[in-house]
Structure 1
Amino acid sequence: MSAHDVFIARHSFIELTARERARALLDPGTFRELLGPFDRLESPWLAMQNVVCQSDDGVVIARGALGGEPAVIAAIEPAFQGGSIGEVSGTKIAAALELAAREFDAGRTIRPVILFETGGVRLQEANLGLAVIAEIHAAIVALRRHVPVVGVIGGMVGCFGGMSLAAALCTELVMTRQARLGMNGPEVIEEEAGIAELDSGDRRLIWSMIGGEERVAVGLADTLAEDDTGEVRDAVLAAFGRGVPASHRSEQVERQLERLARVNPDAIDPESLRALWQGDAR
Structure 2
Amino acid sequence: MNSKRNFLIILFLFSQDIFAENLFLNSPEPKNRLAVALQGQEQESLEAKKEVVTGILQAEKTIGKSVSLFATLPYTRLNESGEKKREHLNQQQIGLKLFFYLYDFGIIGGSNYSFATGKERLEIGSDKFGNIEFYGGLFYRSGAWAIFSVARWNSQLTPHLRERGGEQFEKTWYFDFWLSYTYHSIESILEVTRKVQYDPQLENLYSTIVAPGFLVHLEVMTFGVSAPITISRSYVPDGTLAHPETTFQRNDFDRSILLKAFKYF
Fold agreement, TM-score > 0.5? no
**More strand per residue:** 2
TM-score (norm 1): 0.30
**More helix per residue:** 1
The higher-RCO structure (CA 8 Å, 6+ apart) is 2
